[in-house]
């Protein structure tokens, strides 16, 4: 599935129609509870539904044992989700400097998901808050070839161009797409580097 053919690249709801191609994001609680199995079965009934799954930085603080939870989730993604043709991307995952979770721990968990992306050549959906510089540096330093979709982008045009130059794609909330800022952004980086989402 080509990302540019997706109508909603990141959502937490189901459309249940035959027209909207979408990627439903599964957070850590859905993965650890086993609920992801039902979601995976549901994709077989709906050809336009795809899923993404990963460890969101916000979820790390909810784990009694972050190392154990990370290992479990990585195992689920690798063995149960990646083999499915309906598994679209790893994530939402990334780095957030506005939360209390230790930034080094966030980086460690993010790097584990990057390794998974590289191993299986999978796209990533990235949550980045005040960490665009780190995302750019990681892509450059590790020479990342896999596409990273920068979810809910709120930065400026200059940073968007830098991200696109590394091979990333910008994702914008389709409900805010008509603002002057987003129109200028699309014009600056090109429509081919912009995806739409509802979350």
Query: Angle CA(116)–CA(69)–CA(84) in degrees, nearest 5?
Result: 45
Q: What is the pLDDT of residue 191?
A: 87
pLDDT band at 185 (very low <50, low <70, confident <90, very high): confident
Q: Which of 100-104, 150-154, 190-194 has the highest mean pLDDT?
A: 100-104
**Cβ proximity of 87 and 81 under 8 Å:** yes
**Cβ proximity of 97 and 130 under 8 Å:** yes
The tens digit of pLDDT for each residue in 50-61 reads 999 999 999 999
pTM for this model (two decimals) = 0.94
Q: What is the pLDDT of residue 114?
A: 98
Kindly tell me if the per-residue pLDDT of 48 is higher than 90: yes
189/11 Cα distance (integer angstroms): 23
CATH number of 3-197: 3.20.20.140
For the chain, the structural domain boundaries read 3-197
- Greater model confidence, 5 or 1: 5
Burial of 191 (0-12, 13-18, 19+ CB in 10 A): exposed
The mean pLDDT value for 180-188 works out to 81
**Which residues, 6 or more positions from 105, have their beta carbon under 8 angstroms from its beta carbon?**
60, 66
The sheet carrying 169-173 orders its strands as: 8-11, 22-26, 49-53, 87-96, 123-129, 148-150, 169-173, 194-197
The mean pLDDT value for 169-174 works out to 92
Q: What is the pLDDT of residue 181?
A: 73
120/118 Cα distance (integer angstroms): 6
């Amino acid at each position: 599935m080509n990302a540019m053919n997706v109508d909603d690249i990141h959502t937490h709801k189901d459309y249940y129609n035959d027209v909207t191609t979408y990627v439903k994001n599964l957070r850590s609680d859905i993965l650890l509870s086993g609920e992801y199995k039902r979601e995976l079965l549901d994709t077989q009934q709906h050809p336009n539904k795809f899923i993404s799954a990963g460890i969101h930085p916000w979820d790390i603080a909810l784990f009694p044992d972050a190392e154990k939870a990370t290992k479990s989730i990585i195992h689920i993604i690798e063995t149960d989700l990646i083999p499915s043709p309906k598994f679209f991307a790893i994530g939402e995952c990334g780095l957030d400097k506005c939360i209390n979770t230790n930034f080094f721990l966030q980086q460690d968990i993010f790097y584990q998901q990057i390794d998974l992306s590289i191993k299986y050549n999978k796209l990533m959906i990235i949550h980045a808050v005040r960490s665009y510089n780190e995302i750019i540096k990681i892509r450059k330093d590790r020479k990342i070839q896999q596409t990273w979709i920068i979810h809910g982008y709120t930065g400026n045009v200059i940073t968007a161009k830098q991200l696109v130059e590394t091979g990333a794609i910008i994702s914008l909330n389709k409900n805010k797409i008509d603002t002057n800022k987003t129109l200028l952004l699309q014009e600056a980086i090109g429509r081919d580097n912009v995806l739409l989402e509802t979350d």
